[in-house]
Amino acid sequence: MGLRMATAEQWVRRWEDQQQRYALDREDRFTVIADVVEHVTADRPRPLVADLGCGPGPLAARLARRLPHADIVAVDIDPLLLELGRTHYANAARFVRTAMGTDGWIDELELGGPLDAVVSTTALHCLGADALNRTYNDLAAVLRPGGVLVNSDRLRPVGGRAAEIALHVGRRRGERRRLSTHEDWESWWAAAEDDPELAGLLGLRPTRHPSCIPDNGLTLADHVDLLRDAGFQDVAPVWQFGSDYILVAVR
């Protein structure tokens, strides 16, 4: 059920614009993630990288430009977003449809060897605690020693006055920088439903991810605990603004 390149380009471009409403400094985040992956795979002739919750592939595409020698597996559950990425970024990654944290999801990636890095951006917050715990444990089992998980997401800070101030700073910065001209999540999907070329793929979308919730409400400390319990030795944020973090976990 292929798409025309022009159609994929149009909808990926609109996706990129839409995401600017929810992730300020989006390019900076992508750059930091690429910096981390490049650093930890510097001695690997052909690093293997997985992008979880890839959507139509914007992070995978940027990693492919930075690391053209890497093999990138882009993972999502949504057939429309995957086909947009598969068409628009055909040479950037191998796109795989699976539901993170469910039985056998790692096997569906057909990795063929240990991962050197796992990346994700604004996706893991929607996994329930049990599914996220299983995801972290499954990833720890297939990451090589010294490999990393790099997660850019909105994580609730641990309570207290300093945490409340951090949230306030993040909100005010968002108010100053957010571009209201960008369409939001709901309007992007509503517009996609009006495009007849996307109808077949939209019809294949699940009503919901089997393990997905709007926001698992986990704090930064919760993620750190889950990752350490899964076998990650060193876990720490390498970038933060307000409640937006880039968290790095070393296997």
CA distance 92 to 69: 10
Would you give the distance in Å from CA 213 to the centre of its chain? 15
Residue 157 DSSP symbol? P
Segment (H or E) for 136: helix 129-142
Provide the whole-model pTM.
Answer: 0.92
73 near 109, Cβ under 8 Å? yes
CA distance 50 to 207: 25
- Domains of the chain with CATH codes: 5-250 (3.40.50.150)
Burial 163-200 (b: 16+ CB within 10 A, else e): eeebeeebeeeeeeeeeeebbeeeebeeebeeeeebee
CA distance 19 to 23: 6
Can you give the pLDDT of all 251 residues of the chain as single tens digits? 579 999 999 999 999 999 988 777 899 999 999 999 999 999 999 999 999 999 999 999 999 999 999 999 999 999 999 999 999 999 999 999 999 999 999 999 999 999 999 999 999 999 999 999 999 999 999 999 999 999 999 887 777 787 788 778 877 877 776 655 578 899 999 999 999 999 999 999 875 556 677 788 899 999 999 999 999 999 999 998 888 999 999 99
Report CA-CA distances (Å) from 121 to 53, 111, 165, 204, 244. Answer: 7, 21, 24, 24, 11
Tokens in use for 26? 């989006």
136 near 222, Cβ under 8 Å? no
Q: For residue 172, which amino acid is it?
A: R
3-state helix, strand, coil in the chain (%, to 5): 45, 20, 35
CA distance 49 to 94: 11
Q: Which of helix, strand or coil describes residue 51?
A: strand
Q: Which of helix, strand or coil describes residue 78?
A: coil
Report CA-CA distances (Å) from 36 to 73, 128, 179. Answer: 17, 26, 28
